[in-house]
Amino acid sequence: MLKCTINGVALEVKPGTTIIQAMSENSQKIAHYCWHPGLSIAGVCRLCMVEIQGNPRVQIACNTTITEGMVINNTSDKVKEAVKWGLDFHLINHPLDCPICDQAGECGLQDQYMEYGQYDSEMAEKKQKKHKVVDLGPTVVLDSERCILCSRCVRFTDEVSKTHELGIFNRGDHAEIGTHAGKKLDNKYSLNTVDICPVGALTSKDFRFKQRVWYLKESQTVCNGCSTGCNVKVHYNKEGLFRVKPVYNAEVNGHWMCDEGRDTYKFVNKEARLLKGSKYSNKAWQIDLHSGAVAKETALNLKEAKPEEIGLVLTGQHTVEEYEAIVTAFVNFYKTKNIFHWINNKDSFDTFDGLLLRGDKNPNTKGLLQTLDKYGITSKWTDLEDGLKTKKIKYLVVAGPENTFVYPDLQSKLQLFSQAENFIFLSSARMPALESYAGDNKISLIPLKTYIEKDGTFINAMGLAQKFKKATTVVSEALTLTEAAALITGQNINITETPAENLFIATNKRPDQVQLEHRKKNEFVFNRGRL
């Protein structure tokens, strides 16, 4: 261990640590753009200036390794002046189109300017014009004028995704980021470039212009896109969820996540969700039923059934706690061991691309298998198919997948399940295919909560158990599988439901011309006092 002093604080660091690493690990502030802990050192933004005792010139912190007894500071006037000018060089040709820039609010230039800049610009010459709204590929849009050429995205495609699509073209202040001839920025990790872009040069097509970032709250969770279980944060407000971004976890995903995982917010939003319970019996649908009521009725039905007539199908998309609850309910209460594991993509189940993406598109297959193991369940999928064909299984409870996009066999499986006389489908996703069902069997649909809306644990492919907390509620009436298990066994639970409408208006019948919707939207105003 080496001893050094940074801004008067004595530190001990490992040999080989650069100054900027030491500073960021010890939460000292330092301006920087091009340095990123997950990428190689470029040393081009020249912003992370520090003064080292005994050296008359200011140095960059990202390429200077700490030596024994080094005394470093980045708070002297000399450093401040250097950083201020470094910022000015970044900004002289910046278009300052913050109003239409998606990055505004989380922009490195804005932040650093407020922190280290705050001067009157002396630039009186014409700004350099470059390309705007360049379509780099299916996911990313480039604005060269906003780009500060920190080369993070280029290094990402060279070092992490190893797809080498991006490069810096031309020289001097004509230099621009671009894709190599004939190539598009089209890889499974392309949106990481948007995350690491410190300015608004690279924007995500998916999120572009959807929301201003200051309207969004963020909450940390675990991605349920595949069995890697990347740590992510979701950005949401009352209108729904808008994007997913990675959170650093050295053991799981490092700094990155895949593009597929970024779509996992889409099936959480109301448009894709089953909002209310419904029931099909006697060839007619009863819709808009309370989910709890449907579940309770299921309990009454199941209690009449013999254990061998009951079956339960589970996917790897729920939490360990939920599996525990529902499997106990069926094994101990209904005394059945007809519990089946629905595997969605058999062929690619064990594939891995070497970085993050796994073929198993369920976040918690390991957790499910562990629970099944614990209860000694050995039933095979063919048992279920036979049971349904021979009408041995009459009551089938299925906890369907949240992310139906990765279940290509969904339709065929639904057809299979609806062969059961009583098919109870617990699902977070809307099921248009079932809604048009017109057979003789009975179907109950009970809305489930998604991973965003509950606490729980996922065990990823490496066997790492990761706990996560509820971020927000999208469908308040939906049940977690634990709640559903309790109701299905005939217990009572308390569901706290946020009222959909203002109760005051409901009693006071005067129709209001003012739509309530947009009153709820503007959360920034509520936070204004604090911001």
Positions that interact with another protein (CB under 8 A): 41-47, 49, 57-58, 63, 81-82, 85-86, 89-90, 92-93, 97-100, 104, 122-129, 132-133, 148-149, 167-168, 170-175, 208-210, 212, 214-215, 513-515, 518-519, 521-522, 524-525
Q: Assess contact for 488 and 334: CB atoms under 8 A.
A: no
Measure the CA–CA gap between 440 and 35, rounded to whole angstroms.
64
Residue closer to another protein (CB basis): 64 or 428: 64
Residue closer to another protein (CB basis): 284 or 525: 525
Residue closer to another protein (CB basis): 215 or 468: 215
Residue closer to another protein (CB basis): 40 or 415: 40
Query: Cα torsion for 204, 206, 211, 214, to the nearest 10°?
Result: -40
Least Å distance between CB 205 and another protein?
9
Measure the CA–CA gap between 492 and 472, rounded to whole angstroms.
24
How many Cβ atoms from other residues are within 10 Å of residue 205's Cβ? 15
3-class SS at 451? helix
Residue closer to another protein (CB basis): 162 or 519: 519
Least Å distance between CB 142 and another protein?
11
Residue closer to another protein (CB basis): 102 or 477: 102
Query: Would strands 465-468 and 456-459 be described as parallel, antiparallel, or unpaired?
Result: antiparallel
Instruction: Kindly state the DSSP code that residue 516 receives in the 8-state scheme.
Output: S
Residue closer to another protein (CB basis): 165 or 477: 165
- The burial of 167, by beta-carbon neighbours within 10 Å (0-12 exposed, 13-18 middle, 19 or more buried), is given as middle
Residue written as tokens 């009725």?
A: 297
3-class SS at 391? coil
Q: Which amino acid is at 106?
A: E
Residue closer to another protein (CB basis): 209 or 504: 209
Least Å distance between CB 122 and another protein?
5
Length of the chain: 531
Least Å distance between CB 15 and another protein?
15
Least Å distance between CB 180 and another protein?
12
Least Å distance between CB 449 and another protein?
29
Least Å distance between CB 41 and another protein?
6
Residue closer to another protein (CB basis): 129 or 380: 129
Residue closer to another protein (CB basis): 171 or 283: 171
In DSSP terms, 3 is beta-bridged to 12
Positive or negative: CA dihedral 499, 505, 507, 510: negative
Least Å distance between CB 236 and another protein?
17
Least Å distance between CB 273 and another protein?
22
3-class SS at 446? strand
Instruction: Kindly state the DSSP code that residue 273 receives in the 8-state scheme.
Output: B
Q: Edge to edge, what strands does the sheet with 59-60 contain? A: 9-13, 2-6, 70-73, 49-52, 59-60
Cα dist from 450 to 122, 279, 427, 477, whole Å: 53, 21, 9, 12
Measure the CA–CA gap between 366 and 318, rounded to whole angstroms.
11
Measure the CA–CA gap between 129 and 424, rounded to whole angstroms.
61
Least Å distance between CB 114 and another protein?
17
